[in-house]
Structure formats: structure tokens, C-alpha cells
Amino acid sequence: MDVGIEIGGTKLQVAIGDPLTGKIDEIFRYQVDKVLGAEGILAQIEKILRALPYPPARIGIGFGGPVNRTTGVIAASHQIGGWSGFELLEWFKHRFNVPVFIDNDANVAALGEAHFGAGKGYKQVFYITLGSGVGGGLVCNGALYHGNAPGEAEVGLLQLDRQGNNLESFCSGWALDAKIRKLLPDLPSESPLKQLVGFQQSGEAQFILPALNQGDLHATELLSEYADTLAWGLSHVVHLFNPQIIILGGGVSLIGEALRVRVQEALPKYLVKAFQSGPFVALTELKEETVLVGALCLLNQ
């Protein structure tokens, strides 16, 4: 029995599945308690794995932050305390004595999409996750591209100006939430976006799509600007790697086709003539299971 694990800043997921088919048989999902930190997450993982009808044969892990995939030492987590310098691979091996594989969650998600999601059938696949942060992963001929430690394909860290603003500071879910929050006081009271958000002070981006569906011009303009900036950032990915397909994942990608089409249309204007018309832009097919499927795929890398 193979197990895939996603350790994120807001959620913990554990799945039992088959790395050869990408099929997941059972999923355990939990919200992360930030107060309990890394220690609380580890206790929850151990509780889940001990309660399985059979002990795991192999374990694949997608971790939400920079991690040394060889030693299994966590560099840091930007959301949860207690991870910096933690030897996660050793922790698993000591308790379960089975083969354990680990990588950054965006890399793992890219692997899952390349093998069993929107990237299936493509040789060069780039995946970008648009969540609380922005991460990326590159898969070539079915295998992850790895740079020198501590990481690679960190598309969110691409500098978009000399003042230190990067793609993540413009295109993360938190950045989009903040932009909506700043815009709301200036919107007319009849604005669908303003009415949908109400007094909510987080997760405002989830209301863009329903506002669009109600014909909100401010939401349309906001999304077009966001997609244009994202396309600008992705143009650097194209000029460096020229993948056949770019897959949009993470919470912001749930806006769906309205986002995908705008990015696809904006991308060519930032590409030199030789790279026209650019790669196909797709939405994640595996969605919430992307990292879990990818974690299982790690077992066959």
C-alpha cells in the first residue's frame, strides 16, 4: 500500500493510491492548526498512518516550502512554525522504516499533472500554483527538472521590477485578496463584487467569478489586469524553457476558463517573434488531488 502526503500551510492531505495509474483510493483531509505548528501536523500524520489497515509500503511527500529532496531537511515554511531545519525524511524512516521520497509541493504537483492530469501526453510541462504563494515545477520527458540546491523553477520569485516586487507579490492569492480589499471602498454600493464580499476580510478572490457572472465590470477589469501580469511573468518561463504547455493550479485557478483565456490571449504580446504564439495554457485537471497524485508519482521517479 503506497501513501502520498501533502503538507501545506493551510491543509494536510494523506492519500492511499496507485502510482502506476494515479488512482487514489482514499483521502484524509484536515485543516492545519497553525498554533500547534509542525509538531501538531506530525502528530496528525502519525495518527493517520498508524490507523491504516495495513502499514504503508512506500511514502511520497509534497512539502509546502523549500526542502532538500536528498537529505529531507526542511529549509523553511512561510506559514507554519517549527519546520526550519527539521529532518522530515529521518522522522518518517525512524517511525515507519519504509522508503520515503520528498520534494517541494509545486514540483510534486507538476509531476502529477504531467503524468495523469492536463499535461499528459506532453514532453515539456510547466506547472504554476497560484495559492497563498506562487510556486512552479518543470517536467521534461516525464521527469522533474532539478537545479542545484535549494531549489528550482521558483517562478514566484521572478523579479518584475528593480524595487524587489516579484510575481508572487502581484499574483498570489493573498495579493489578489489585498487588491480587492483596497478596491472595495471605491466601488459603488450596487457593485456585485462589493455585495458578494461584504464584510469578509480574507479570501476575497473567491468572489471574482460570481461577480463576473453577474456582469461586474470592476471584476472584469481586475481579472484582466491580474491575467496580464501573470502572462508577463510566464513569458520569462517561455523564453527560458519554452514548454509545450503551462498549467495553472492553486486556489486562484478555480476562477477557471475566464482566467485561462485571458492569460492565453495576453501571453503572446510578451514573447519575441520566434516564440510565437507560445505554449498552450491549461487549467489543472487534478485540482485538490494534484499534490497527492504527484507524491505517489515520486515513488516511481
Residues 6+ away with beta carbon under 8 Å from 27 = 13, 14, 15, 289, 292
Nearest to 252 by CA among 190, 165, 180: 180
pLDDT higher than 90, residue 285: yes
Residue 135: the pLDDT is: 94
**Number of neighbours of residue 174 by Cβ within 10 angstroms:** 17
Confidence of residue 132 (pLDDT cuts 50, 70, 90): confident
Instruction: Give the pLDDT of residue 19.
Output: 95
Question: What value does the mean pLDDT take over residues 284-288?
Answer: 96
pLDDT score recorded for residue 9: 82
Residues 118-135 have a mean pLDDT of 95
pLDDT exceeds 90 at position 226: yes
Q: Are 113 and 285 in contact (CB under 8 A)?
A: yes
5 burial class (0-12, 13-18, 19+ CB within 10 angstroms)? buried
pLDDT digits (tens, 9 = 90+) for 68-96: 999 999 988 877 889 999 999 999 999 99
CB hemisphere CA count around 169 (13 angstroms): 9
Q: CATH 3.30.420.40 residue ranges in the chain?
A: 2-110, 121-285
pLDDT at 95: 94
The separation between CA 265 and the C-alpha centre of its own chain, rounded to angstroms, equals: 22
* 130 has pLDDT over 80: yes
pLDDT tens figures, 161-179: 999 999 999 999 999 999 9
State whether residue 210 is helix, strand or coil: helix
At 78 the pLDDT is: 73
Say what the pLDDT of residue 94 is: 92
* pTM to 2 decimal places: 0.94
Length of the chain in terms of residues written: 301
Average pLDDT over the chain, rounded to an integer: 95
What kind of architecture, by CATH, is found in domain 2-110? 2-Layer Sandwich (3.30)
Q: Which residues are within 8 A (CB) of 285 and not within 5 positions of it... i.e. 6 or more apart?
A: 113, 117, 118
Rounded Cα gap, residues 40 and 19, in angstroms: 28
CATH hierarchy code of domain 121-285: 3.30.420.40
Task: Give me the pLDDT at residue 65, please.
Answer: 87
What sign does the dihedral 24-26-31-35 (CA atoms) show?
Answer: negative
pLDDT at 201: 87
Torsion-angle region of residue 134: left (phi > 0), alpha (psi -120 to 50) or beta?
beta
How much of the chain, in percent, has pLDDT values that exceed 90? 88
Q: By mean pLDDT, which of 34-43, 59-68, 137-146, 148-157 is the weakest?
A: 148-157
